[in-house]
Amino acid sequence: MAYKPKAGDVMSTPNVIPMADIMLVLLIIFMVVTPMLQKGISVDMARVQNPIDMADADKEDAIVVAITRSGDIFLGTTKTPKDQVTSIVRDRLANRPNKTVFVRSDARAKYGDVVSVVDEVRAAGVDQLGLLTERLQEKRATPPPPPQ
């Protein structure tokens, strides 16, 4: 006679442990990938109290010029010499009705470097120039100490 294994009892509740494991793995993947989705070069932008939201800066075809702390200039992710910024921006704006360029500058970049890049961008025929900043985190008031 052949051995036939007996089937276990039928479980009436679903086994959620594998689903929880999958969800945790997906969460970790999204946490790792999300910072990499940022367009352009990462700079520590200046923090201001009353920024103006510029939704057009997040668009896929937005022209963003980044200036790093060391004075390097990037158009998107491409490092660009300062003397070529005007011609490249002019070429990218050629067939656009909206001639807006956004500048992302590191908070510790030299003021002269930022002004010279803004001047180069203006020379390309830009109608509007947006300076991108971050919102300043308000410090919460500390509660008074309890009476003693």
Residue 15, C-beta contacts closer than 8 angstroms, at least 6 positions apart: none
CA separation for the pair 64, 126 (Å, rounded) = 12
Mean pLDDT taken over the chain: 84
Question: Does residue 24 sit within a domain?
Answer: no
CATH number at residue 123: 3.30.420.270
Question: Does residue 10 sit within a domain?
Answer: no
Question: Does residue 27 sit within a domain?
Answer: no
Q: How many domains does the chain have?
A: 1
Residue 105, C-beta contacts closer than 8 angstroms, at least 6 positions apart: 43, 45, 46, 66, 67, 114, 117, 131, 132
Give the pLDDT score at 123: 92
CA separation for the pair 115, 34 (Å, rounded) = 32
Question: Does residue 119 sit within a domain?
Answer: yes
Are 94 and 122 within 8 A, CB to CB?
no
Question: Does residue 101 sit within a domain?
Answer: yes
Residue 65, C-beta contacts closer than 8 angstroms, at least 6 positions apart: 73, 74, 75, 85, 89, 101, 102, 103, 104, 117, 121
Question: Does residue 82 sit within a domain?
Answer: yes
Give the pLDDT score at 122: 92
Rounded to the nearest angstrom, the gap between the alpha carbon of residue 11 and the centroid of all alpha carbons in its chain is 48
Mean pLDDT for the stretch of residues 110-122: 93
Give the pLDDT score at 37: 67
For 1-55, how does the pLDDT look when each residue is reduced to its tens digit (9 = 90+)?
677 777 777 777 777 788 889 999 999 998 888 766 666 677 888 888 888 888 7
Give the pLDDT score at 10: 75
For 42-90, how does the pLDDT look when each residue is reduced to its tens digit (9 = 90+)?
788 888 888 888 878 778 788 889 999 999 999 988 899 999 999 999 9
Question: Does residue 142 sit within a domain?
Answer: no
Give the pLDDT score at 111: 92
Can you give the residue range of the structural domain that contains 84?
47-135
pTM greater than 0.85? no
Residue 124, C-beta contacts closer than 8 angstroms, at least 6 positions apart: 85, 86, 87, 89, 90, 93, 101
Question: Does residue 65 sit within a domain?
Answer: yes
Give the pLDDT score at 1: 61
